[in-house]
Structure 1
């Protein structure tokens, strides 16, 4: 029998076995031409394809268990967060011309307005053309709570 060395530690194998047992899935680890298959137990019923998606979601969220819930749900996307950062540098209610904001477009405007974080004004001569944007009290409160959340939990 040939002898071989793998880079997988005992602790890694135990973690993989825990996931396999908890979710009833078969996990394969491939190291070069060596494949290690860890099954929850022999004779287990195969997982239905419809259940696989739920199991993948459960496995991916496994690392998030125990983490505190963020103050803003659903999370801000990167454009919303960038606009909120820019507007938070001004006092509440101070109007800023919309073209001075980077990453601010109609989709971001709609999302932030629907959340109640910004208000907008339109040009008097052209009521369809956006003119100014400003942060509301609820927007500043949400932004400050999000900043304090990430200050408290920097690894999230």
Structure 2
């Protein structure tokens, strides 16, 4: 029977990816053996980064490296950590009922009245929250249960949904 491997192939691949991405050498000690993983030194991107961040062992070098990485305009939005992403344009965020109602109303358009019962999971509380934000308006006429007969999306609500769509397209993981 063969002996169990000291380190799994998936672990090696993960360590190699980290070493290549950051241009660092990784050392792992396993049962008295030291495994060193280093990036490919012939890669022009790594050579460029190493010469660009010379002196990175000092505090100033570290600060320069982090400032350069954070302000890079070529950064992929999918790679931006969650805590660095700006907040959405609508604060406080919509709950699931508000969001669904606003998406339906945005698809219909601004200032086009619809019957209130066409919206699913849309009760008085959701209506009051959206009306309080100024995103919808309701008719003064009510039915037997006291619900407004019609409601519609305002221009402010349409602009908020457009801003939210633009924010989602810029930061797609949100």
Shorter-chain TM-score above 0.5: yes
Q: 1:100 to 1:142 in 2, by over 3 A?
A: same
Alignment of 1:61-140 (within 5 A): 64-123=82-141, 128-140=146-158
2:164 is aligned to 146
C-alpha distance 65-92 of structure 1, shift in aligned 2 (>3 A): same
CA shift in 2, pair 1:106/1:141, >3 Å: same
Moved over 2 A (4+): 122-129
Based on CA coordinates, which of the two structures has the bigger radius of gyration?
2
- TM-score norm. by structure 2 comes to 0.51
TM-score using structure 1 length: 0.57
Cα distance change on mapping 1:112 and 1:124 into 2, 3 Å: closer
8 Å contact from structure 2 (residues 97, 121) kept in 1: yes
- Unaligned runs of at least 5 residues, structure 2: 1-5, 16-80
Q: What is the total number of aligned residue pairs between the two structures?
A: 104
**Structure 1 unaligned residues grouped into runs of 5+:** 13-62
